[in-house]
Structure 1
Amino acid sequence: MNHKTITGTRLFTALLAALLVCAGCAGSAGNAETSGTTENTSSPSSDETTASLTSDDLPEKDFGGREFRIFSRLNPWYHGNWLVEEADGDVLNDAIYTRNSKVEDRFNLTFTEDGDTNTDRAKNSIIAGDDSYDIINARGSAGFEYAQENLLYSIADLPYINLGKSYWDKQLNDCVSMCGKSFFPIGASNLTSYDYTHVLVFNKKLADDNNVGDLYSLVNSGKWTLDEYAKIVDTFSKDLNGDSVMDEEDLYGYLSQPKAVLPAFWIASGVLSVNRNEADEPVFTMPSDEKFLNVFERVFAITYDNNSWFRNSSETNYDDQFINMFQNNKALFMDITFFYIESLRNMDADFGIIPYPKYDENQANYLSRIENCELTCVPVTTDPEFASIILEAMASESSDTVIKAYYNVTLKTKFARDNESADMLDIIFNNRVYDLGDTVWGDKLRDGVFKEMFTNNDRAISSKFESMRTVMEKTISDAVKGFSGAGN
């Protein structure tokens, strides 16, 4: 098998896979308060149903050695590559290699992969009319831009994509649809949304030493709420060296990047910055959302008023300072994505994994934030039949190889240090949320406004709403206009 990959680019060992339930994409995430427990659609009730949902219905095709050309955005904080160079004995690496080999053999084709830290080169090839790539895995904002500029086939133009199959993340595709149109077939073969899932890890030694109690029982009983979280962290921080200066040598309740704090808690509380109307058009709802205002005020009070949060201005996706502090027993909780949990494998003290707390006990589900994901795009310069057949086959085969290898072997065996953490993963993956104001339009809201507000302890939210509304209404108007005129 000839897998051409970016020189020097290797997959790490953590690949996350489970079906995404994107709570509230069709309305408000707050609907989770009255809904029942969200079912994981990857677990049908019978073997026959399972087979029908995980097996594709593709025709027999022989592509005569044709290349399927992938362009991927590559960065160090997620798994951007779809290809691996060879089998090397690692369970996940070999599962990916096996998946690719099976699809190559089935359709008599060869995968190739190009990439860069952005997808500008791929976009320019489409504009030039060059048939250079069959799919492009682009940043969320870039994918939306390409769709608005009519550079992509919509899913309606891709004859062999069947979103009714369980290997497609239907809810996530609903999250990134607009005006009834979908352009980004995201499924089991695209692992970046799983890499970007945020959770809380907690230091078990500190929890035991400080009589925090059984956090797993709190979660399982439905009583892990914002109030319970506040009770724990409000009195947790301590000036360990007695110098009257709270710095990295002291003890904290919570570690997180400034830009991640507010969205993690508002999403966990069932709030979305951008909702949808009946026409599947985005609506900026924050200014009129009383629940958001309450969460906003509570989070500032919890993190700042009692020094529970280690104050910093970090903007990197991975911060050695946070990891070192957590491993050296300087914080009870730390925000982390699943991609980086591997960084804690050598930690002496045990740690556990739990979701962020619910708003209150009336909220049915724990909701976990997806910071972003790469959007799989099919450029208008390629053959839509060819692209859709191989995308469907890759997603189908991934559900039978990569997902099983990762979720059941690597994640629950290598990373989870106890059975309880493994159980928490099911809760987390069954209810994840993709908020447009935190992802595709994160530069407008999350990074454009809330990151600076939180970094500077600026709680004057009312004065920011008018400027936010102006920016978001223009952004949404442009997106609706572009999507309405693009694709089918």
Structure 2
Amino acid sequence: MKKRFIAAIMIFLLLAALLASCNSGGNTDTSSAVSSENSDTSETVSTPKWEYDPEIPETFDGEGKDFTFLVVGGDNEAYHSVDIGSWGEVTPDVISEAVQERNDFIEEELNIKIVVEYQLGGNITTYIRNMVDSNDDTYDVVMPFINDASALAMDGYLIPLADGETLNLEGVWWDQNANEQLTVGNVLYFTTGDISMLDNDCTQSIMFNTDLVSELNIDDPYELLKSGDWTIDNMISMAKTATVMNNEFAPTSYKNRWGLHINVNGATGMYIGTGERLTSKDNEDYPQIALGTSRAATAFSKIYELMHDSSYCIIIENYNDEAKGDGFVNCYRAAAEQIAKKNALFRVMSMSDTDRLLEYDCNYGILPMPKLDSNQDKYYSLVSTLAVPGVCIPTTNSDLERTGYILDAMAAKAKELVTYAYYDVKMKNRIANDQNARDSLDIIFDSTVYDLGVVYDWGSIRSFINNAATASSNTYTSQLDAAKTSIQAAIDQTVEDFKKDS
């Protein structure tokens, strides 16, 4: 009996040991499974460092050295470069934060220190000349306004950008319109793109009051834009409908409700919008006068008639004294208020002028310049390069390989961060706050025109259309005949200078 009891106890203990062993094994397996499961869930999906990959070699190391930009800026400067570094209070917070985030990323990723120094726009070219003449290699990249950069290029102070073999000029972060149109003899000395925002700010366009369109029950300009029928004639028709003269004001007063406010420079912008050019290029990529075609004369005549038809159009500069007498800083501020308060239908402007409408509670839209007619292939938007910084490499730069990689990295990250802040937040979400306006902005910025005549101003060709359009009579052909000789002589000299250096 006792033996059977002991045997039973032993069997019980053996079973208990087996159960303990099984439980121990099970716990081990479960622990392993849990550990494995936790390991799987704790893995994070890696976010790519680059939304737009500049393909910088993994071996690249900036060794913590400075990479120095010289840009336009100063207390008395109307247009500051705020896209390489911030300039005081002129930089909107959303832009400043994006620029800083980009710079922090590039400094850490490439192991460099970004340094930004400023010069006034009127001084920067002289400063660059003196720097190069004294073999001062402080600056890796200089960014004068494009029109000033043209003189530096002609005089041999800049390196062709293609000489920097690591610089990927075909990258989506560079403006391909600028790359194609700013060459002379197939050589590109300066360009722009996502590394800068002033090219967008200085693009010409038209704003309109959307509420006034609805109240007048006229054609929706956005629908005309989509169908390809946003033309000068259709704009004029709507402007005439919108114009109302108020007996309280003089017939020339801006306080009447005008269909169209246009600034003097808007004449050239509208001319470029018709698909015409001040200059074109020959088969060797050298500039030539483009003003002499019959279509150019037709386009100009349409613009001349528009600017002189006081039944619907008023020239903004003509009411500067009246506007200042009414307490405005200048006529351009007054023009913005007329759009905001539904006292104007259309206003020709640069993109930077849209900032003024943030001061008002109003609904407005943005359009490219109208076509000459519906047969025109596409819309075109002039960039006023007078205040657009150009990315330039001075001849004192001795490390083009390093410069190319860093510029691509800066521009690529700017496309992801800074352009988003400017375009998608500042412009689309804050200013152009509907889908039609967003689509219109895409058309405007995709159709930019960099006319070499505006850049180099051969024989004062830059102001030719503006001056002819505001003359007391339409003498386009005779004015062109009188100007051709000096324009062509200046072009020939530029071509000779570039061929000499090639």
TM range (shorter): 0.7 to 0.9
Matching residue of 1:246: 252
Asked if the contact 1:147–1:486 (Cα under 8 Å) also holds between the matched residues in 2, the reply is no
Identity of paired residues, percent?
A: 23
TM-score by length of 2: 0.80
Q: How does 1:130-169 map to 2 (within 5 A)?
A: 130-169=136-175
* Structure with more of its chain in helix, by fraction: 2
Instruction: Spell out the pairing of 1:100-119 with structure 2 (5 A cutoff).
Output: 100-115=103-118, 116-118=120-122, 119=124
Higher RCO by CA contacts (8 Å cutoff, separation 6 or greater):
1
- Mapped contact 2:280–2:290 kept (Cα < 8 A): yes
Alpha carbons of structure 1 residues 247 and 407: separation in structure 2 relative to 1, 3 Å: same
Q: Secondary structure at the match of 1:258?
A: coil
- Residues 431 and 78 of structure 1: CA distance in aligned 2, closer, same or farther (over 3 Å): farther
Which moves more between the two structures, 450-459 or 99-108?
A: 450-459
One-letter amino acid matched to 1:82: I
- In the aligned structure 1, how far is the partner of 2:453 from the partner of 2:147? 11
Mapped partners of 1:114, 1:440: distance in 2: 26
1:387 maps to 403
Give the alignment's Cα RMSD to 1 decimal. 2.7
Q: How far, CA to CA, are the matches of 2:473 and 2:392 in structure 1?
A: 38
How far apart are residue 86 of structure 1 and its match? 10
**Cross-structure match for 2:501:** 486
Aligned to 1:444: 460
Q: Aligned in 2, Cα 1:317/1:446: closer, same or farther, shift over 3 Å? A: farther
> Which deviations, in whole Å up to 9, do the C-alpha atoms of 1:363-416 show, x marking residues without a partner?
231222211122111101122233222212111211222223332233211111
What's the offset of the Cα at 1:237?
Answer: 2.7
Q: CA, structure 1 residues 130+139, in 2 after alignment: closer, same or farther (shift >3 Å)?
A: same
Are residue 293 (structure 1) and residue 297 (structure 2) matched?
yes
**Hey, what does 2:24 align to over in structure 1?**
none
Which structure: larger Rg?
Answer: 2
Question: What is the deviation of 1:204?
Answer: 2.0
Moved more, 131-140 or 75-84: 75-84
Instruction: Give the Å deviation of 1:148.
Output: 1.0
Residue 161 (structure 1) shift: 0.6
Residue in 2 aligned with 1:27?
none
> Would you say 1:84 and 2:89 are equivalent positions?
no
Superposition deviation, residue 85 in structure 1: 7.4
Which of the residues 298, 320, 325 maps onto 2:333? 320
Cα distance change of structure 1 residues 443 and 79 upon mapping to structure 2, 3 Å threshold: farther
Whole-Å Cα distance in 2 between the matches of residues 80 and 52 of structure 1? 22
Task: Tell me, yes or no, if structure 1 residue 72 matches structure 2 residue 74.
Answer: no
Which residue identity does 1:284 align to in structure 2? I
- Quote the residue 2:15 is aligned against: none
The 8 Å contact of residues 258 and 312 in structure 1, kept in 2 or not, is answered as: yes
1:98 correspondence with 2:116: no
TM-superposed deviation, 1:121: 1.2
TM-superposition CA deviations, 1:111-155 (whole Å, max 9, x none): 222222231212221122222311111122221111111111112
Q: 1:80, 1:474 → 2: CA distance?
A: 37
- Partners of 2:128 and 2:260 in 1: how far apart? 40
Q: How does 1:162-241 map to 2 (within 5 A)?
A: 162-241=168-247
Does the 8 Å contact 1:151/1:380 carry over to 2? yes
Instruction: Tell me if structure 2 keeps the 8 A contact 1:259–1:454.
Output: no
- Answering whether residue 452 of structure 2 is matched by residue 454 of structure 1, we say no
State the one-letter code of the partner of 1:298.
K
Q: From the superposition, tell whether residues 226 and 185 of structure 1 become closer, same or farther in structure 2 (CA, over 3 Å).
A: closer
User: Is the contact made by 1:313 and 1:455 (CA closer than 8 Å) also made in structure 2?
Assistant: no
Aligned partner of 2:430 in structure 1 is 414
SS in 2 for 1:246: coil
Distance apart, 1:104 and its partner CA: 1.1
Q: Secondary structure at the match of 1:376?
A: coil
Which letter does structure 2 place at the counterpart of 1:76? A
- Cα distance in structure 1, aligned partners of 2:355 and 2:137: 39
Shift of residue 276, structure 1, vs aligned partner: 0.6
- Per-residue deviation, residues 401-452 of structure 1 (Å, max 9, x unmatched): 22233322332111113222112112222212122223442881233x3333
SS at structure 1 position matched to 2:501: coil
How many angstroms apart in 2 are the aligned matches of 1:179 and 1:131? 28
The 3-state SS of whatever aligns with 1:64 is coil
TM-aligned CA distance change 1:252 to 1:155, over 3 Å: same
2:418 maps to what in 1? Answer: 402
CA–CA separation in structure 2 for the residues paired with 1:259 and 1:185: 23
- TM, length-normalised to structure 1: 0.82
Partner of 1:263: 268
In the alignment, does 2:324 pair up with 1:308? Answer: no
**Structure 1 portions without partners, runs of 5+:** 1-49
Query: Does residue 330 of the first structure (1) align with residue 343 of the second (2)?
Result: yes
The answer as to whether partners of 1:147 and 1:183 remain within 8 angstroms in 2 is: yes
Query: What is the alpha-carbon distance in structure 1 between the residues aligned to residue 341 and residue 283 of structure 2?
Result: 50
Whether 1:424 and 2:427 are equivalent positions in the alignment is no
CA distance in 2 between partners of 1:112 and 1:394 (Å): 13
Distance 1:221 1:253 in 2: 22
State whether residues 383 and 449 of structure 2, in contact with CA within 8 Å, keep that contact through their aligned partners in structure 1. yes
Contact 1:53 1:166 in 2 (8 A): no
Select between 68-77 and 270-279 the one with higher mean Cα deviation.
68-77
* 465 and 164 in structure 1: CA distance in 2 versus 1, 3 angstrom threshold: same
Instruction: State the 1:67 CA deviation.
Output: 1.5
- Structure 2, unmatched stretches of 5+, are 1-47, 321-328
CA distance in 2, matches of 1:395, 1:263: 30
Question: How far apart in 2 are the matches of 1:61 and 1:215?
Answer: 51
